């Protein structure tokens, strides 16, 4: 058996030796819309795609620049090629973390144009953690952190058909790319 997976768009993709030109937003949006959060332990289906959309919406609600919102939308992009592994397990999987980091870096470079670092990376992590907190509070009535994080947006936790999530993910991606281009033109 070869070391490649066949993506939604029909590409042969090797997660151990990823090629940047084979990263497609369509593959990411499709896979994340069908991938369940919390390893399937929430009482209803809630996708990684919905989580990523919520993270991007939260960045916009906080009036962060569009590049941070796009980084939030893409922050779990590597999971489209690797799967969503819960944090308590993932932190003990050294090889997985290395592969995930390499792939996520490539996704950011290909679709965002750079890898968020420093303060920007911290903003994305804080939003990811806040959204995670409220997902567990909503679905499991569990408070993951001792201090309740700030949330400026209004999350939606209702079941959404996967095709709708995929479409919304792609639409938000295009909208954020346009905002980034407009901002770049304004600053020149």
Q: What is the 3-state secondary structure (H, E, C) of 21-64?
A: HHCCHHHHHHHHHHCEHHHHCCCCCCEHHHHHHHHHHHHHHCCC
* Residue tagged 């819960």 (tokens): 86
pLDDT category of residue 110 using cuts at 50, 70 and 90: very high
| Residue 175 three-state SS | helix
Q: What is the pTM of this model?
A: 0.95
pLDDT tens-place string over residues 121-164: 999 999 999 999 999 999 999 999 999 999 999 999 999 999 99
Q: 23-187 adopts what CATH topology?
A: Hypothetical protein af1432 (1.10.3210)
Contact 52, 75 (CB under 8 A): yes
String of DSSP letters for 118-151: HHHHHHHHHHHHHHHHHHHHHHH----SSSPPP-
Residue 6 pLDDT:
95
Phi/psi region, residue 38 (left: phi>0; alpha: psi -120 to 50; beta: rest), is left
Question: pLDDT tens, 40-62?
Answer: 999 999 999 999 999 999 999 99
CA triplet 129, 8, 37: central angle to 5 degrees?
25
Alpha-carbon distance values, 164 to 16, 29, 52, 143, 167 (Å):
31, 11, 14, 29, 5
Neighbours of 137 (CB within 10 A): 15
90-99: per-residue pLDDT in tens? 898 998 899 9
Contact 132, 39 (CB under 8 A): no
Percent of the chain with pLDDT over 70: 99
- What is the rounded distance in angstroms from the CA atom of residue 83 to the CA atom of residue 31? 9
* DSSP code, position 6: E
Domain ranges of the chain: 23-187
């Amino acid at each position: 058996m070869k070391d490649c997976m066949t993506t939604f768009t029909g590409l042969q993709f090797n997660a151990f030796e990823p090629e940047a030109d084979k990263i497609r937003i369509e593959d990411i949006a499709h896979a994340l819309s069908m991938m369940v959060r919390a390893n399937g332990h929430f009482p209803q289906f809630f996708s990684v795609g919905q989580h990523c959309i919520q993270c991007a919406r939260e960045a916009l609600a906080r009036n962060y620049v569009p590049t941070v919102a796009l980084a939030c939308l893409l922050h779990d992009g590597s999971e489209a090629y690797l799967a969503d592994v819960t944090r308590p397990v993932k932190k003990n999987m050294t090889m997985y973390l290395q592969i995930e980091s390499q792939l996520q870096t490539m996704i950011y470079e290909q679709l965002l144009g750079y890898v968020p670092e420093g303060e920007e990376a911290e903003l994305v992590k804080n939003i990811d953690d806040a959204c995670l907190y409220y997902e567990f509070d909503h679905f499991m009535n569990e408070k993951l952190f001792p201090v309740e994080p700030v949330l400026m947006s209004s999350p939606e936790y209702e079941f959404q058909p996967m095709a709708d999530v995929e479409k919304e993910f792609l639409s938000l991606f295009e909208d954020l790319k346009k905002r980034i281009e407009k901002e770049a033109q304004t600053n020149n």
